[in-house]
Amino acid sequence: MYQELASLLDNSLLLRSITFFLSFVALSLTYYFARKNKSPYKELPKTLTFSGLTRRIAASTIDSLIISIFVFVIAFVFTFLFIMGNVYLNIDPIILEIIENLSNFIIFILAVLFLPIQQASKHQATFGMRLFGIKIYNADLKKANFWILLGRHLSMGVLFTLTLGISGLMIIWTKRKQGLHDKVARTIVCRQW
């Protein structure tokens, strides 16, 4: 029984397929729920301007570094436990493999939730966004819903892949500096200074 579970969790093609499918479902659900609000985008107050591609890339770089450090620490702890369990505790290798694959899954889930949780907080921004004075809003210039932000985050990868990166470059030429993922989720990213 453990062998089948270990081989199922270890099948990276299966995990990638599931991830892509769930991201596509998230894209569809985000589009559907974001369209329930049919009100037009509100005009920005004079204290806000739309955030361009450069600031967003810089903020994303900072967030990626934070996530990488976070993942490294968790992976280091699990690797240490894996080695200790293998060398000193004589735990069955199949059980260790299951623990390793589950730890990878946990890291993946935490990495996916890291950005939407921060963006749905009272700050409306990730650590990198806060460093560059950027906040994310819905079309009414209010705090965006967590589920919309999660769908926006998951759909970003699908849209970026399907459009060969053009969906992200749309930030350069669209009126509200929105990528395709922002248009789908009806969100705008603004800077305060």
Measured CA to CA in angstroms, residue 26 lies from 148, 159, 193 at distances of 9, 11, 32
Compute the average pLDDT of residues 9-19: 65
Q: What is the mean pLDDT of residues 146-157?
A: 86
Phi-psi category of 26—alpha, beta or left, where left has phi over 0 and alpha has psi -120 to 50? alpha
Q: How many domains does the chain have?
A: 1
Q: Which pLDDT belongs to residue 57?
A: 93
pLDDT tens column, 30-54: 777 777 767 788 888 888 889 989 9
Task: State how far the alpha carbon of 59 is from the alpha carbons of 50, 76, 172, 183, in Å.
Answer: 14, 26, 16, 20
- Can you give the residue range of the structural domain that contains 58? 2-191
- Collapsing DSSP to helix, strand or coil, 41 comes out as coil
pTM: 0.76
The percent helix, strand, coil of the chain (3-state, each to 5) is 65, 5, 25
Tell me the pLDDT tens digit for each residue of 113-151.
889 999 999 999 999 999 999 999 998 888 988 988 988
Is a pLDDT exceeding 50 seen at residue 70?
Answer: yes
Mean pLDDT of 15-34: 73
Q: For residue 34, give the 3-state DSSP assignment.
A: helix
Highest mean pLDDT among 29-43, 92-106, 170-184: 170-184
